[in-house]
Chains A and B, each alone.
Chain A
Amino acid sequence: MRKTTILFIILTLQMLVVCCNSSKDFYSGIEHLGKTKVEIETLTMDSIILDASMTSFSGQWLMSPSGSRIYFADSYAVGINSYRLNGAYDTTYITQGRGPNEMLLPSWSSSFDQNDCFVSLDNNSSVNIFSADFSTKTFYEPSSWFTAVDTSFLQAEWRNLYRNPDPKVPQMYEFNNYVGQIYYKYGKLYIPILTEHVAYNPYEVYSKSKEFWRDSYLFAIYEPENISETLKLVGHYPSVYSKKNIPVFGRYSFLIKGNEIMVSFNADPKIYVMNIAGEPLYSFGVADGLISGAYPETVTFEEFEEHGAAYRNKYGYYDKLFSDGELVFRTCRLDNGQRKLQIYKDYDLIGDILVDSDFELFGRGCDGFYYAYKRSDYINEHFVLVKFKLFEK
């Protein structure tokens, strides 16, 4: 009798532990900060026209560190086009080649570090770090774990990883091109990552998608000179993704602010903040009433590919983050197709503004104006940007 009772207790406890582990939330227990104190509901925007005849229409917008130039990093042709704040073309930095002020392939994602150096991940996943004047560069071949060019990871290890997926193994991951951001701060690269392992991925419910949402990592952080000794995988998805399989809305946007990583997910109104070690600290962020979150589930990769674009056009989601000093901005797509800009100050929502459908804020100029992409004029080969000021009567 006594033995049986002990066995009963042990087994029940074991089952409880398994159940608790399977439903753990990485962000549980952290404090949610901020209130809704909206004081900005409209903005006066002035349009700026930029010549697009020498570029493709696809690329990334950046504000120069001095705030005096607008940069367009073309994603189809090598080069960073520089424009004055009034929209006049200035010059082009970086030409095609292997030289000190050249890149072999177009930039996929880029940003500036704390010393105004331009860091760019090219279309072949090589990292190029240019000096502030673009005259010299440091080049890093595609990171070994990142593109599988790793002679120390032998065929047998690949085969083993293929058969036994493990989210803790860096070789599981690739650059997350749905996120498409890269940062280089104080010698460390911050790269969004995604595993699409054939038997461990977010798309297929029979390929451990639940485990993917719970255990896979969001970021790789490493010093490019010494990947093997410095590489860390940090961050996890919030619990909303464990409740329903919604990889179509699995994208996120992130910022490095001081010693903190801020990340906002498509399907979650909260903006999560973690330290560089990946420990969750707190959250803030307000849900928009016109984002229902009633996303349809997809259970296969084929379903994801077939319906992804249509679902993203039909349902609202939380989108890109941008920060400037004490302000944090976030764009949102509403269920009705409209776009909004949320502005947070000290974690409080102080701005809630309807904006143009492709609006994307990218910087603040030295003239005090914020600059954002508005649309492309394909017929006249122009980019249309807008600029605006906050707190202006």
Chain B
Amino acid sequence: MKKQYCLKAYAFFLMACAVLGVCITVVAQDIPDPHGNFDEINRCRCKENGDVVGCYAGNAISLRPACAKSKDPIVCSNYNSNCTNAGGEDGTTN
């Protein structure tokens, strides 16, 4: 009887862990939208190339500061100067 109780308690503990894990995952995935929107799908990001930070092609979901973004194709290197100041083109990271 005691053994059965222990097994049930253990099963309950494991299930609780699983539920808690799912909840944490859901909470962790609830990320707010980036500044602007995903219409401006062409993004350039400040990245290192050797010892120098420049403006290079990137995507819309990167954590690096954006140096340029547009609905039209962009030549990122034209915006190298946007990478000399921290925070990127519009002061955001997206």
Contact = CB atoms under 8 A, between A and B. Distances in A.
A203 to B, nearest CB: 7
A162 B15 contact: no
Given A11-B14, A124-B76, A177-B56, A159 B33 contact: yes
B6 to A, nearest CB: 10
A1 B4 contact: yes
A218 interface: no
Nearest to A158: B38
B45 to A, nearest CB: 8
* Overall SS of chain B's interface: mixed
Interface residues of B, number: 42
A29 B7 CA distance: 36
A360 to B, nearest CB: 12
Sorting the interface of chain A by its residue count into under 10, 10 to 19, 20 to 34 or 35 or more gives: 35 or more
A302 B91 CA distance: 16
Contact of A148 (B37, B47, B56, B59): B59
Interface string B79-91: 0000000000000
A146 B57 CA distance: 8
Contacts of A4: 4, 7-8, 11
Nearest to A109: B49
Given A11-B10, A156-B38, A198-B62, 13 more contacts: A8-B7, A105-B77, A123-B76, A147-B43, A155-B38, A155-B41, A162-B38, A165-B61, A171-B61, A177-B56, A178-B48, A198-B31, A198-B93
24 contacts: A7-B7, A12-B14, A15-B14, A58-B52, A123-B54, A123-B56, A124-B75, A141-B73, A142-B57, A147-B57, A148-B43, A155-B39, A155-B41, A159-B38, A162-B31, A162-B38, A171-B59, A172-B61, A173-B59, A177-B47, A177-B49, A196-B64, A198-B61, A206-B28
Interface of B: 4, 7-8, 10-11, 14-15, 28-31, 33-34, 37-39, 41-43, 45, 47-52, 54, 56-64, 73, 75-77, 93-94
> Nearest 10 CB-CB pairs, A to B?
A158-B38, A125-B57, A147-B57, A155-B38, A148-B59, A11-B14, A198-B63, A196-B62, A4-B7, A123-B77
